[in-house]
Amino acid sequence: MTVSLAFDIGLAGLILAIGSWTVFARNAQAAVIGFVAYGLLLAIMWVRLSAVDVALTEAAIGSGMTGMLLLGAVARVRPADGHAVLVNLPGRIVTGLLCGMISAGLAIASLSPPETIRTLAPAVMENLSQSGLGNPVAGVLFVYRALDTLLEKVVVVLALLGIWSLAPDRAWGGIPGLRIYVQPSSTLTLLAQVLPPVGIVVAIYMCWVGAKLPGGAFQGGAVLAAMWLLATIAGLQNLPSIDQFWLRFLLVIGPALFLAVGLAGFVLANAFLAYPDGYAKPLIVVIEVSLTLSIGVALGMLGAGPPERSQR
């Protein structure tokens, strides 16, 4: 057994242990903190699976943004005290057996690989040069499966609409009720002053380099959102009310531009979401930049939650 295999087995064991902790821990807050660690370890596993783009997304979204939302929820919601009905012991045993069977079935499936392994990697690489991109994953996201990517951005905006519509009537059009911790000259304030300039540069880099190397609009947008939320939580700047025109404009500009380019494809390249010859790379870069802005704003507002205070 080589060292790297031992590392991978240890990693898999650790992830399973922490994953189980998030389910079996008594304290909800401890479970959520475990979930953040779980997400970061999962990101390492994605690197080991040679999927660096996925690892970046998992670390930023799966662990970071989800963890932030869950921690915020744990802090607000008191756990239902006492009268929570737990499934009785026989019920738990039966559930455990059934879940175990599902796991066993999936395990058997992963232990018996198909005889002929089908892969689309050669097809992707063959046609990648036409798109002018160097990162095959970006190629799939923006060329071959562009429809998925477009719909994914729309889903994020829809989720935000869903969250906003949960606002009480009096707060509609108001300011999201993100908790702000104003403690002058604390570590948080210092971090919120020092990190955003660096973070914004990192976000621009990730967005730009995404065409060639792992990275891209989503990862860049997530970093932007994190910087925005950091500065807001530290009380250095206020969140906008949700009826601001610029906010709504930035939210939809990315998906709208993507859709417009897609529709233009009907005329210029004979198919929806097709790019005209020779213009693929510049168009994709324009779409990526606008998507990074939209995603940054959307993730930031998703993190901030529904409006709770009416306008100043």
Instruction: Give the number of residues in contact with other proteins, rule: CB under 8 A.
Output: 96
Q: Residue 181 in contact with residue 235, Cβ under 8 Å? A: yes
The correct pick among 16, 182, 191, 201 for binding other proteins (CB under 8 A) is 16
Binding flag, residue 281, other proteins (CB under 8 A): no
The correct pick among 30, 155, 201, 271 for binding other proteins (CB under 8 A) is 155
**Which residue carries 């500065």 as its tokens?**
231
- For residue 193, the minimal CB distance to other proteins (Å) is 28
Binding flag, residue 156, other proteins (CB under 8 A): yes
The correct pick among 173, 181, 185, 305 for binding other proteins (CB under 8 A) is 305
Q: Three-state DSSP class for 175?
A: strand
Binding flag, residue 73, other proteins (CB under 8 A): yes
The correct pick among 85, 245, 270, 312 for binding other proteins (CB under 8 A) is 85
Give, in order, the Cα–Cα distances in Å from 40 to each of 103, 169, 295. Answer: 23, 38, 21
Binding flag, residue 86, other proteins (CB under 8 A): yes
The span of 199-207, 233-241, 258-266, 298-306 binding other proteins (CB under 8 A) equals: 298-306
- Reading the block at residue 97, the tokens are 């057996």
CA distance 199 to 201: 5
Binding flag, residue 45, other proteins (CB under 8 A): yes
* Nearer residue to other proteins within complex by CB, 7 or 266: 7
List all residues 6 or more positions away from 67 whose beta carbon is below 8 Å from its beta carbon. Answer: 32, 35, 36, 39
Q: Residue 166 in contact with residue 302, Cβ under 8 Å? A: no
Binding flag, residue 269, other proteins (CB under 8 A): no
For 204, how many CA atoms within 13 A lie in the half-sphere containing its CB? Answer: 5
